[in-house]
Structure 1
Amino acid sequence: MDTVNLQEQAARQQLFIALYQKVFPAVAKYVSKHGGSFDEAKDVFQDALLSYYEKSRSIAINSSEGAYIFGTARYLWIQRYKEGNKTTQLDDSFTESIGNQTETAPAEDKLLNFLETAGKRCMELLRSFYYDQLPMARVAQLFGFSGVRSATVQKYKCIEKVRETVKQKALRYEDFLE
């Protein structure tokens, strides 16, 4: 019986090493790109790896090991990042940087005028989904679409209208700054 446990431990250790080598670089790159440190990436990865191992022992996972672990790590990082932003202390350097940022904040009038090129109905649809955060089923009902799929397609078309205008005018982010 001890031999079986030792074999299971060795197999589990080999699995963890292989997954670490395969997936950790992508997780570390993601966390780094989104403001995290190497140690934070290790923590998130280890939590995701543990989650994968526990889930895989109880249920069948339909995605690849790497995709599952990366997706979980990404979700965990987003959660940590949101929590960190909620609990950040406001010190003098932070308030000074906020004061400096107002100079480069996007001009709301410019953005609004630009988005209006998509049309009033598109503006209302995008506002309902993104700003009011209504579920797509509710958006479909409000705008008289036959279903969620139709509303999703129309939202995509509205976004594409805006993207096309950006391409035509070769606009950049800086064009919206005051």
Structure 2
Amino acid sequence: MMAEDQNRLLTVEMREAFFTGLYKKAFSPVAHYVARRGGSLDEAKDIFQDTLVIYYEKVTSAETTNIVNEKAYLLGIAKKLWLQHYKADCKHQPLNNFDLEAIAEEQLSTDKILHYLETAGKRCMELLKAFYYDHLPVGKLATRFGYSGTHSATVAKYKCLEKVRETVKYNSLKYADFIE
């Protein structure tokens, strides 16, 4: 065998060992990531193959790349590729795959809840939104809505909730009224 053929064979063997090592290090976390996000094993394999190609191109490029943790780097590439794949796949998903009745029922429930929240008044609605939806701490609620302290803001929030509860009681509404 000629020296050139031996070098080529050695290079092929080295590449195989390189890729096998990467598979052992990083395929399992990538497959778990894809599976947790609704992907199949075949999709995980495809994503990982693309990840390896990108990684190999990066490593063999003329640019010097300092990669500290190969596994984390590969997982990062795979996450980005999966997100791109998922976004592209969602755009092409037909509408008949969705449970339209469930979506309509959910919207009706939301509309009913909003209606009863609105009966408490605009200020209460804003206060409850800031606390529950925007996750504003009570101290910041007090400042934003002009209360003298956190205790006053807490009492105001409680009174707003009581207004909504009273409206629901007055109309003799039950939990089932919101989910039917």
TM-score range, shorter chain: 0.5 to 0.7
1:83 corresponding residue in structure 2: 88
- After superposition, give the CA deviation of every residue in 1:32-79 in whole Å (9 maximum; x if it has no partner): 001101110000011001110111001333222212211100100011
State the partner residue of 2:53: 50
Distance in 2 between the 1:7 and 1:54 partners? Answer: 20
Distance 1:81 1:6, change over 3 A: same
Q: Within 2, Cα distance between the matches of 1:75 and 1:99? A: 33
With the length of structure 1 as denominator, give the TM-score of the two structures.
0.59
The structure whose Rg is larger is 2
Match for residue 136 of structure 2 among 91, 100, 117: 117
Letter matched to residue 117 of structure 1: L
| 1:60 counterpart residue number | 64
Paired residue secondary structure (2:66): coil
2:31 to 28, 33, 38: 28
Tell me how far apart the structure 2 counterparts of residues 57 and 11 of structure 1 sit (CA, whole Å): 14
Query: What are the within-5 Å matches in structure 2 for residues 1-178 of structure 1?
Result: 1-58=4-61, 59-63=63-67, 64-91=69-96, 93-102=98-107, 111-114=129-132, 115=134, 117-118=136-137, 119=140
Q: 1:5 to 1:82 in 2, by over 3 A?
A: same
Calculate the TM-score normalised by the size of structure 2.
0.58
SS in 2 for 1:91: helix
Residue 100 of structure 2 aligns to a residue whose secondary structure is helix
Unaligned runs of 5+ in 2: 115-124, 145-177
Q: Name the SS of the counterpart of 1:117 in structure 2.
A: coil
RMSD, aligned CA: 2.9
Q: Is 2:34–2:44's contact at 8 Å kept on the other side of the alignment?
A: yes
Structure-2 separation of matches of 1:67 and 1:14 = 19
**Offset, 1:80:** 0.6
CA distance in 2 between partners of 1:6 and 1:111 (Å): 67
CA 65–117 in structure 1, closer or farther in 2 if over 3 Å, else same? closer
| Matched AA of 1:89 | P
The amino acid of 2:5's aligned partner reads D
Which consecutive unaligned segments of at least 5 residues does structure 1 have?
A: 124-176
Asked if the contact 2:130–2:136 (Cα under 8 Å) also holds between the matched residues in 1, the reply is no
